Amino acid sequence: MAGFSFLRRSLIAPSADGMVAPLRFDSALAVPIDSPDELASMTPGFVHPLSTQFNVQALAARLCPVLLSDQSVAIFALAEHVGSDQADELARQIVKLGYVLANPPRYVLAAPLLLAIARNQVTAQSLSGHAGQRLAQSTTALADAFNDMVEWGVRNSASDLHLNLRLNEPESEVKYTLSGRYLSPERFRRMPTSMLVDMLSVAWMDISGGNGALFDPTIEQQGSMTRLVDGQEIMLRWASLAADHGPSVCLRLLRREVDASLPSLDQLGYLPDQVALIERVMLSEGGAIVFAGTVGSGKSTTLASLIAGVAPSRKVITIEDPVEYLIPEAIQNTVARSLDAAAHQNYAAKLRALKRSAMSDVLLGEVRDAETGLAFMDLAGSGVSVYTTVHAPSARLIPERLASGFIGVPRDFLATPGILKLLVFQALLPVLCRHCALPAQRLAEAGGQAGPVARSVQQWRSWLHLIQDLYACPVEAFRIRNPMGCSACQRPHLPELNGYAGRTVVAETIEPALQPEFLHSLWRGGCASEHMAIRSAMECAVFKASRGQIDPRDIEQRFHSFETERCLRDLQGVKKQSTPMLRAAS
């Protein structure tokens, strides 16, 4: 960070005499170094990199200051960066800090070799060693660069790593999903495209169950691999999209957690009455508990936590793609659900064996197509307890999703009493740092942003009134995120997450047995009534906001705006004064 800021600052600042120093470098004068052999034979000789001393580690994939044997300092760079403003500024800094600029001052290297040097993997000693080892070094550097990205993601609790390559541009984008947000840490913000292509090609060699022996930027590829990070086994699920400008590779980082780290429902953010409901429903055998939510909403974690709580007197079997949590006592099965015929046969064989396994509880990873829909019917109809997930935007719409043409579970099956035991929809919202969150009233005094949109003080004032009106709760207790953060919540290089401390579940539940109207509407073939008296996940979020835990602006981003909520209520003719939960809370 500091390295970048000095570069930026001095690029626009004139020098002491008020003139901008004429340090423009003609890229044609840069000397190419094409191989470790050429590096070994250069004079004066290469000694070691100085990225740390110049605080430009973040630039290491493009530019690297190096010490030469005559104590002068040269700049090693990629061809497209050797004449850049940043290289010019680095040259100025070298002189400013009292070093002698080498002659010639700049060299052009290929990405793998530059990276290996910047990472201290090529030393003067290794260069004088025997030549055979040198060949392997660029591959090692690329594998290390890949591992570095994975490790950074794991250590910062990212759920996904995204490499969006633009083959016709010198640099491409590396992003992470952190706390549900799509962010680019400064360290990986712009990476040389050629290096990323080489790096992905090297990384793909470790893929198992993938389509294709080589990484191919022009087709969709899937597969998985495991990595050990800080003693923890991480599974990477690779999915690449052949987009117009180049491959977009998404790597999901799946931690194989042991039971000790499985959080309780309460720790996940379920409210006490929701925990009590889920536990009550779990007491009886048979029927299905179905969780809905978007990708990354934490459904798998909740399911694993639930299953870990099943009494040891019950036999639990899981079918997952892949197994994400190691659940004690459960018999877990990974069944890859890829598109080829062999995968379908495996799945069918697994199910046939499952039905002869005399289990009482089954975790069926996800119901997402006709094949898994049939498995769901088979199991739920046979009297075992089934726990599963679907993609649906609310608890009310779970049966709609199951009955859709795509999955095809008949409505009359779903409407049979006892089949759908509990429907849960959950979402994850960021939790405000309790040390530095600000009163929401601040918006009505100083204005502020709502996502990309700035609102006036007057607009914020009516916004706060609207929330108060809709939910009958005093807004004095509402708090908002402090974008400056504090020592408790700041994360290096991730200012976007300042003011937050983890995430919490907000959920809605439907127990069909207690909502006869719900089952009736399923019988009739219609959609479950929108007037049903359930507390929505959005209301659950507002409740948490009334406790100062969630920024109400994040609720609008996740669900819909409070203005939309007002329109929806007008449309439905529902004049809710307040929800049972909010009444109980106030």
Contacting residues toward Zn ion, per CB under 5 A: 433, 435-436, 485-486, 488-489
Q: What tokens does 406 get? A: 């795509």
When the beta carbons of 234 and 438 are compared against Zn ion, the nearer one is 438
When the beta carbons of 448 and 512 are compared against Zn ion, the nearer one is 448
Residue 292 burial (10 A CB sphere; 0-12, 13-18, 19+): buried
Q: What tokens does 128 get? A: 């004088």
Kindly report each contact of residues 164-168 with a partner whose C-beta sits within 8 Å and lies 24 or more positions away, as own/partner: 164/243, 164/246, 164/248, 165/193, 165/196, 165/197, 165/200, 165/217, 165/245, 165/246, 165/247, 165/248, 165/249, 166/193, 166/245, 166/246, 167/193, 167/197, 167/217, 167/245, 167/246, 168/245, 168/246
Residue 573 backbone dihedrals phi, psi, to 5 degrees: 65, 20
When the beta carbons of 428 and 489 are compared against Zn ion, the nearer one is 489
Work out how close the CB of 500 gets to Zn ion at its nearest, in angstroms, rounded to a whole number: 8
Work out how close the CB of 478 gets to Zn ion at its nearest, in angstroms, rounded to a whole number: 17
Work out how close the CB of 548 gets to Zn ion at its nearest, in angstroms, rounded to a whole number: 13
When the beta carbons of 95 and 488 are compared against Zn ion, the nearer one is 488
Q: HEC string of 442-507?
A: HHHHHCEEECCEEECHHHHHHHHHHHHHHHCCCHHHCEECCCCCCCCCCCCCCHHHCCEEEEEEEE
When the beta carbons of 199 and 433 are compared against Zn ion, the nearer one is 433
Q: How far apart are the first and last CA of the chain?
A: 46
Task: Give the CA count within 13 Å in the CB-facing half-sphere of 420.
Answer: 32
When the beta carbons of 219 and 488 are compared against Zn ion, the nearer one is 488
Rounded to whole angstroms, how far apart are CA atoms 224 and 352? 26
Work out how close the CB of 437 gets to Zn ion at its nearest, in angstroms, rounded to a whole number: 7
Rounded to whole angstroms, how far apart are CA atoms 520 and 508? 20
When the beta carbons of 58 and 433 are compared against Zn ion, the nearer one is 433
Work out how close the CB of 438 gets to Zn ion at its nearest, in angstroms, rounded to a whole number: 10
How large is the greatest C-alpha to C-alpha distance in the chain, in angstroms? 87
Work out how close the CB of 541 gets to Zn ion at its nearest, in angstroms, rounded to a whole number: 20
Q: What tokens does 61 get? A: 């994939």
Work out how close the CB of 432 gets to Zn ion at its nearest, in angstroms, rounded to a whole number: 8
When the beta carbons of 174 and 433 are compared against Zn ion, the nearer one is 433
Work out how close the CB of 58 gets to Zn ion at its nearest, in angstroms, rounded to a whole number: 25
